[in-house]
Structure 1
Amino acid sequence: MVIIQGKSKRKSTGARYKSTRTKRLHQKGSLPAHTRIGKRDARTSRVNAGGSKTRLLFADKVNLFDPSTRKHSIEDIKNVVESPANRHFVRRNILTKGAVVETSKGRARITGRPGQEGMVNAVLIK
């Protein structure tokens, strides 16, 4: 079943609106990716205007930026320590923007949106 981000089919009283047209492609939505820790798995999907989005479903590496040395490195993700999006994402190890993860170099905060960008970027927290 397609997820449509359009107007409701019903009025506030419960009566139905008369349908004037069919569903359009630009109204299409999708479920969240809920990127988890595991062997990398990404899917590409077509979005509006012919572009593409890489949906990251599983990730085990992070592009880590160290502000003290100003260097990037690729490190392993161990687990999710804290998540401002949802407290249950911590025990499910779901990676979201703003989540704090434990890496081999220490704790890091995720700066990107892994479910929409296709990669995990983070900044080391001191």
Structure 2
Amino acid sequence: MAVWQGRSGRKSTGAKLRRIVKKHKREMGNSPVETHLTDSVKIKILRGRGGSKKVKLERTNYANVFNQETKTCKKVTITNVIDNVANKHYIRRNVVTKGAIVETEMGKAKVTSRPGQDGIVNAILIKE
């Protein structure tokens, strides 16, 4: 599904605006990718403007967790989404976004990356 990110077709008064230039493909956007917590990993690679690649993470079951005390990073599995400040319904649906608090093998961790746009889940271990 494409989203057109151009000017509105109406003025603030409600009057219709005449289109001066036509719509262009470069003005289109994409619908957001909500990274779900499942048993498998699914990555979507999209072509960006200029031939660049965009990596979007659709499903995952692991995260790179950084421990600040020992200064080490370890790849661990995510068991559950505990809290998500982006949307309260994401907790029930197990959607991982930036700022979400997840339960891992090492303990609770806060997600610092944007999985739907970066294609990876990076997190920092929370002291308890």
- The amino acid that maps onto 1:69 is T
RMSD over equivalenced CA pairs, Å: 1.3
CA–CA separation in structure 2 for the residues paired with 1:125 and 1:29: 35
Alignment match, 1:58: 59
Q: Is the 8 A contact 2:2 2:31 kept in 1?
A: no
CA–CA separation in structure 2 for the residues paired with 1:25 and 1:107: 42
CA–CA separation in structure 1 for the residues paired with 2:120 and 2:2: 26
Q: How does 1:1-126 map to 2 (within 5 A)?
A: 2-38=2-38, 39-126=40-127
CA–CA separation in structure 2 for the residues paired with 1:65 and 1:42: 22
- Report which stretch shifted further, 4-13 or 102-111: 4-13
What is the CA-CA distance between 1:22 and the residue it aligns to?
Answer: 1.9
Percent identity (aligned): 40
CA–CA separation in structure 2 for the residues paired with 1:35 and 1:63: 15
Aligned residues: 126
Which consecutive unaligned segments of at least 5 residues does structure 1 have? Answer: none
- The amino acid that maps onto 1:110 is V
Which consecutive unaligned segments of at least 5 residues does structure 2 have? Answer: none
- SS of the equivalent of 1:89 reads helix
- The amino acid that maps onto 1:120 is V
TM-score normalised per structure 1 = 0.93
What is the CA-CA distance between 1:13 and the residue it aligns to?
Answer: 3.4
CA–CA separation in structure 1 for the residues paired with 2:72 and 2:48: 33
- SS of the equivalent of 2:65 reads strand
- SS of the equivalent of 1:115 reads helix
TM-score normalised per structure 2 = 0.92
Q: Structure 1 stretches (4+) deviating beyond 4 angstroms? A: none
Per-residue CA deviations over 1:65-96 (Å, capped at 9, x if unaligned) read 11111111100000100111111111111000
